[in-house]
Structure 1
Amino acid sequence: MIYFCISLMVVILDQATKYYMSSILRVCVPGDCPSIELLPVFQFRLFHNEGAAFSFLAEQDGWQRWLLVAVSLIVSTVVGVWLYRIHRTEKLLAVALALIIGGAVGNLIDRASVGYVVDFVLVHYQDWYFPAFNVADSSISVGAALLILDMFIRPKQGAESHA
């Protein structure tokens, strides 16, 4: 199915960018945070996130790694089955699910192999910083936004019979 190819492309792009950024930057620690500034509000800095989104559970003593691996596996499997079963005319939904799968698998690879997710995109304005993220996180976010959009634009089942 073509949509699983989208997921695979996201995983490849995610892993390639994480590998590249890890090869040119050192991990950001207080007092030593090398970066590549692209714009005054946008830069690359390398972080290792041992938690979930927004570093949730990152301060735990390690048990969260395998919990998050299990959750990622379950979510990827459920969304993969959903993608496999949808009607071929539901293209927006299929793209949304493919992006979510690709992002989940990209971060799953990191978490399972090294125990943390590599984040490197940093957006900020003056002293306000958005949590660092990566290609996989972006893919999940875009996929979720498309999923919500699909819910609003797809005709409601039974709505046409009441018209």
Structure 2
Amino acid sequence: MASSTRTRNAPARKTAARSSDSSLGLWLAVAALWLILDQFTKVLIVQNYQLGDSTFVTNFFNVVRVHNYGAAFSFLANAGGWQRWFFMGIGVAAATFIIWMLRTHPHQKLFSFAMASLLGGAIGNVIDRVWHGYVVDFLDFHWNFLSPLFHQGHFPAFNIADTAITIGAICLILDEILRVRKAR
């Protein structure tokens, strides 16, 4: 009797494993899309802009070339060089953890989209640190109402990887809010 139960359940386990693998593939493809978009735009910037160049696009947006040796908001940018390896290590550790999370929760769509976005963004910025020693930022938004917070109202320049990370973080928060509401 036990052997027939094992035989009957084996195909179900294989189907579930295949389904999980295909879902993981979907989320890795989402991460890859973020990564490709990020690296493509950075290549365009590096090929067409010198450090400090700026192109006016609208009264609130410029395309620039900035090198960020730190993390968000240039955190630790002037730390003497060790931060490159520190942030690369964090990026690799985060990518490893995120892939594990995607493998264990592939059918949680919003959560997995968030994780895939974080993964694509993290890898994009790690690639910059490996190739250049800094992250290439180029999106410069500015508004007068930001002047009390940022120099001349310019929000710190960022890139597509940062956008993916931000979208991923927002989706994680939203996923948690929805999960808590559903549990009530």
In the TM superposition, residue 94 of structure 1 has moved relative to its aligned partner by 0.7
Percent identity of equivalent pairs: 39
Specify which of 53, 56, 59 is matched with residue 40 of structure 1. Answer: 59
In the TM superposition, residue 47 of structure 1 has moved relative to its aligned partner by 0.4
In the TM superposition, residue 114 of structure 1 has moved relative to its aligned partner by 1.4
Specify which of 8, 14, 20 is matched with residue 38 of structure 2. Answer: 14
1:118 counterpart SS class: strand
- Give the equivalent residue in structure 1 for 2:78: 59
Structure 2, unpaired ranges of 5+: 1-24, 145-151
1:43 counterpart SS class: strand
Calculate the TM-score normalised by the size of structure 2.
0.79
Q: 1:155 to 1:60 in 2, by over 3 A?
A: closer
- Give the equivalent residue in structure 1 for 2:8: none
Higher helix share: 2
- Give the equivalent residue in structure 1 for 2:4: none
Calculate the TM-score normalised by the size of structure 1.
0.89
- Give the equivalent residue in structure 2 for 1:123: 141
Separation (CA, whole Å) in 2 of partners of 1:60 and 1:53: 14
Superposition misfits of 4+ residues, deviation over 4 angstroms: none
In the TM superposition, residue 87 of structure 1 has moved relative to its aligned partner by 4.5
Separation (CA, whole Å) in 2 of partners of 1:114 and 1:41: 29
Q: Deviations over 1:5-41 (max 9, x none)?
A: 010111111000000011111111xxxxx31222111
Tell me how many residue pairs correspond in the alignment: 153
Larger radius of gyration: 2
In the TM superposition, residue 154 of structure 1 has moved relative to its aligned partner by 2.2
Structure 1, unpaired ranges of 5+: 29-33
Specify which of 101, 105, 108 is matched with residue 82 of structure 1. Answer: 101
Q: Deviations over 1:124-150 (max 9, x none)?
A: 114211110000000000010001001
- Give the equivalent residue in structure 1 for 2:6: none
Alignment of 1:97-112 (within 5 A): 97-112=115-130
Aligned AA (1:145): I
Separation (CA, whole Å) in 1 of partners of 2:70 and 2:106: 35
1:154 counterpart SS class: helix
